[in-house]
Amino acid sequence: MHMTQTPPTPLRKLPPRKKCLLLTAALVLLIGVSAPAADTFFPLKQVRPGMRGIGKTVFNGNKIEEFNFEVLGVLQNIGPKQNAVLARLYGGPLERTGVYHGMSGSPVYIDGKLLGAVAFALPFSKEPIAGITPIEEMISIFEEQPGMAPGPKIQMGHLHWREFNGSGVAKPEPNTLTSDAAPVAGRPERVGSMGHGLQPIATPITLAGFSTRAIEQFAPYFESLGLRPVLGGGSAPDLEDDGVPLQPGSPLSVQLVRGDLNINASGTVTHVDGRRIYAFGHPFLSAGFTQLPFNKDRVLAILPSLFASSRISVSTKPLGVIQQDRATGILGKLDAAARMIPVHLKLHTSRNAESSYDFEVVRDSFLSPLLLNFSVFSAIQSSERGAGKATLRLKGKIAVKGHPEVALEDTFSGGSNPALMASLSVASPLHYLLSSGFETTEVERIDLAITSIEEERTVLFNNVTYDKTKVRPGAEIMIAVNLKKANQEAITETYAVKIPDKLTPGPLSILICDGDTLSQLDAREMPQQIVPENLNQIIRAINNLKKNDRLYVRLFRRERGAIIKGEGFPSLPPSVLSIINAKKASGGVQPLSLTSLAEYELQPTDYVISGQKQIEVEVISG
Q: What is the pTM of this model?
A: 0.80
**pLDDT for the residue numbered 335:** 93
**pLDDT for the residue numbered 307:** 77
Higher local confidence (pLDDT), 13 or 28: 13
Residue 163 is assigned to a structural domain of this protein:
no
Flag whether pLDDT at 530 surpasses 50. Answer: yes
* pLDDT over 90, % of the chain: 52
**pLDDT for the residue numbered 592:** 55
Residue 541 is assigned to a structural domain of this protein:
yes
Flag whether pLDDT at 273 surpasses 90. Answer: yes
Q: Distance between CA atoms of 105 and 268, rounded to whole angstroms?
A: 5
Name the domain boundary from 93, 119, 140.
140
**pLDDT for the residue numbered 454:** 86
**pLDDT for the residue numbered 45:** 94
Domain of 62 in residue numbering reads as 44-140
595 confidence band (pLDDT: 50, 70, 90): confident
Residue 463 is assigned to a structural domain of this protein:
yes
pLDDT, mean of residues 400-414: 93
Higher local confidence (pLDDT), 79 or 585: 79
Q: Which of 63-72, 111-120, 462-471, 528-537 has the lowest mean pLDDT?
A: 528-537
Cα separation values, 595 from 72, 191, 508, 598, 617, Å: 70, 48, 11, 9, 16
pLDDT, mean of residues 484-507: 90
**pLDDT for the residue numbered 197:** 76
Where in 349-414 does DSSP place strands (E)? 354-362, 391-400, 406-413
Query: What is the DSSP secondary-structure string of 350-366?
Result: TTS-EEEEEEEEE--TT
* CATH code of the domain covering residue 133: 2.40.10.10
Residue 93 is assigned to a structural domain of this protein:
yes
**pLDDT for the residue numbered 44:** 95
pLDDT, mean of residues 426-430: 93
Residue 119 is assigned to a structural domain of this protein:
yes
> Based on the number of CB atoms within 10 Å of its own CB, is 590 exposed (0-12), middle (13-18) or buried (19 or more)?
middle
Range ranked top by mean pLDDT from 374-378, 454-458, 516-520, 537-541: 374-378
557 confidence band (pLDDT: 50, 70, 90): confident
Per DSSP, what are the bridge partners of residue 145? none
pLDDT, mean of residues 291-295: 95
Residue 309 is assigned to a structural domain of this protein:
no
Q: What is the mean pLDDT of the chain?
A: 81
Name the domain boundary from 87, 109, 140.
140
Name the domain boundary from 101, 118, 140.
140
Q: Distance between CA atoms of 341 and 265, rounded to whole angstroms?
A: 18
pLDDT, mean of residues 6-32: 42
Contact 108, 100 (CB under 8 A): no
198 confidence band (pLDDT: 50, 70, 90): confident
Query: Taking the CA of residue 139 as centre, how many other CA atoms within 13 Å lie in the half-sphere pointing to its CB?
Result: 16
136 confidence band (pLDDT: 50, 70, 90): very high
Residue 533 is assigned to a structural domain of this protein:
yes
Residue 276 is assigned to a structural domain of this protein:
no
pLDDT (tens digit per residue) in 38-57: 579 999 999 999 999 999 99
**pLDDT for the residue numbered 176:** 28
Specify the number of domains making up the chain: 2
**pLDDT for the residue numbered 350:** 80
